[in-house]
């Protein structure tokens, strides 16, 4: 992972776009592995195991080349973050086997909304009226995508909703870790723990992948490692408020892949629901950006607050 940290918004934008393309591609591959295109469908637990195993392999190779300086990790937070991330990814991979990529991707954009709500009891944060309105808007979009009528309701969409909720919890732990440990250290520990957790979970459902499925599992993990590397380096070269809105390009890439590889054209409900979710989530990001420009410190929920000194890790 390269790390000259000079402020470079143009490069940050390119890296963020690349990261989004990679993330959407991993979901596309998970969809293929969850079908019978390349052999008997693999269980979502096995797909997420491949994601962690091969991502850890790629990041370990990068660490061997870069030789970063490691500090003492906060293992409790790492375990909590990785457990939530593994559960969220597994549910996400399970959902895309049954619903369009665009629907599943749009629903998971609710994770900052869930993070905002969870920050109230877990971090003791307060949320203002504007933030609640933005969250309600995003949730309305999710309700539209769930298609809650007897004829059109998609039960698998609840898997994506569960993934968004758990990924929101993961953001809480990422908040705890950010600024205390190096990016490559966080990614290595995250994926190493993910290998252990996902391997224990997959034992009961393991089946021998076909050669094509082995190749796709390797591609899935390496693309995820590339995505994480791109996004971490993008954040190192520009403000978070500048990089965050680019994450919504993942939805565009997912819809494009669905059209190209599965001939699934988003219908009006998908477009409307996705646009409402993006509008609500983007409002949360813009509110945070405005607070930061005004010089007021911002909590995870985006509420201005009095700064509290954070002790250096021991």
pLDDT in tens, 65-123: 888 788 888 899 999 999 999 999 999 999 988 888 888 888 887 887 788 788 778 77
Q: Coil, helix or strand for 304? A: strand
Who wins on pLDDT, 178 or 175? 175
Q: Residue 314: CA atoms inside 13 Å, Cβ hemisphere, count? A: 1
Bridge partners, 304 (sequence order): 298
Distance, CA of 65 to CA of 63 (rounded, Å) = 5
The secondary structure of residue 152, as a DSSP letter, is T
Do 184 and 313 touch, CB atoms closer than 8 A? no
Tokens (6 digits) for 127: 């949320």
Q: Which residue in the block uniquely carries the two structure tokens 């490069």?
A: 11
Distance, CA of 292 to CA of 286 (rounded, Å) = 10
Q: Which residues are CB-contacts of 279 (< 8 A; sequence separation ≥ 6)?
A: 137, 138, 141
Distance, CA of 91 to CA of 161 (rounded, Å) = 9
Type and span of the H or E element at 29: helix 9-33
Distance, CA of 296 to CA of 287 (rounded, Å) = 12
pLDDT of residue 173: 84
pTM for the whole thing?
Answer: 0.77
Distance, CA of 147 to CA of 162 (rounded, Å) = 16
The secondary structure of residue 124, as a DSSP letter, is -
Bridge partners, 298 (sequence order): 304
Question: Is 38 a residue whose pLDDT tops 60?
Answer: yes
C-alpha 73: how far from its chain's center? 22
Who wins on pLDDT, 247 or 27? 27
pLDDT of residue 106: 82
Distance, CA of 148 to CA of 129 (rounded, Å) = 27
């Amino acid at each position: 992972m390269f790390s000259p940290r000079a402020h470079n918004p143009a490069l940050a934008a390119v890296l963020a776009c690349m990261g989004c393309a990679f993330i959407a591609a991993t979901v596309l591959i998970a969809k293929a592995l969850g079908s019978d295109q390349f052999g008997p469908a693999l269980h979502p637990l096995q797909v997420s195991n491949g994601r962690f195993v091969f991502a850890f392999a790629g990041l370990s190779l990068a660490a061997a080349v870069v030789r970063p300086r490691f500090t003492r990790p906060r293992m409790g937070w790492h375990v909590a973050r990785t457990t939530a991330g593994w559960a969220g990814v597994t549910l996400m991979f399970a959902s895309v086997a049954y619903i369009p990529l665009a629907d599943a991707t749009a629903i998971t954009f609710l994770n900052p909304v869930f993070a905002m709500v969870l920050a109230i009891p877990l971090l003791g944060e307060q949320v203002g009226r504007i933030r609640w309105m933005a969250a309600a808007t995003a949730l309305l979009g999710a309700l539209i995508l769930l298609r809650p009528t007897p004829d059109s309701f998609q039960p698998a969409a609840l898997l994506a909703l569960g993934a968004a909720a758990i990924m929101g919890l993961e953001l809480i732990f990422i908040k705890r870790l950010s600024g205390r440990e190096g990016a490559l250290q966080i990614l290595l520990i995250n994926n190493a723990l993910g290998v252990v957790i996902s391997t224990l979970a997959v034992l009961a459902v393991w089946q021998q992948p076909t050669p094509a499925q082995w190749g796709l599992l390797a591609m899935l993990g390496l693309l995820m490692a590339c995505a994480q590397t791109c996004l971490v380096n993008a954040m190192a070269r520009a403000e978070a408020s500048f990089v965050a809105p680019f994450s919504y390009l993942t939805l565009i890439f997912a819809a494009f892949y669905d059209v190209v590889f599965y001939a699934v054209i988003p219908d009006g409900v998908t477009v409307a629901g996705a646009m409402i979710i993006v509008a609500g989530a983007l409002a949360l990001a813009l509110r945070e950006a405005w607070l930061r420009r005004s010089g007021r410190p911002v909590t995870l929920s985006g509420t201005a607050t009095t700064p509290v000194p954070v002790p250096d890790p021991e």
